[in-house]
A = this chain, B = another copy of it.
Amino acid sequence: MSEAARDARHEHGYIHDKDGYLRRLRRIEGQARGLQRMVEEEQYCIDILTQVSAMTKALQSVALGLLDEHLSHCVVDAAKAGGPEAEHKIKEASDAIGRLVRS
């Protein structure tokens, strides 16, 4: 766990629709199991790739939702407080966005 993570444990409730995210992640877990079955049964490769694309889109959508919550809460709060912590939070968010764009 990063240093920032430890601090953040105290910011309870930053994810507004936690149940919604858990439901979406369970569906993604189910897609990962479905892919194993498709490979196990040697289903048609193109159909497997279609499933991988759908799963990637679902993951991206979760990431974009979480990022929006992060900007709306952690980053806005840090910006209000100002100082080096605000800069750190922006840098950290930009790096995370870069990883999402490149993945």
Contact = CB atoms under 8 A, between A and B. Distances in A.
Contact of A67 (B43, B60, B94): B94
A33 to B, nearest CB: 6
A64 B26 CA distance: 24
Nearest to A87: B72
Interface in A24-79: 25-26, 28-29, 32-33, 35-36, 39-40, 42-50, 52-57, 59-60, 62-64, 66-72, 74-76, 79
Interface of A: 1-2, 4-5, 7-9, 11-15, 18, 21-22, 25-26, 28-29, 32-33, 35-36, 39-40, 42-50, 52-57, 59-60, 62-64, 66-72, 74-76, 79-80, 82, 86-87, 90-94, 96-103
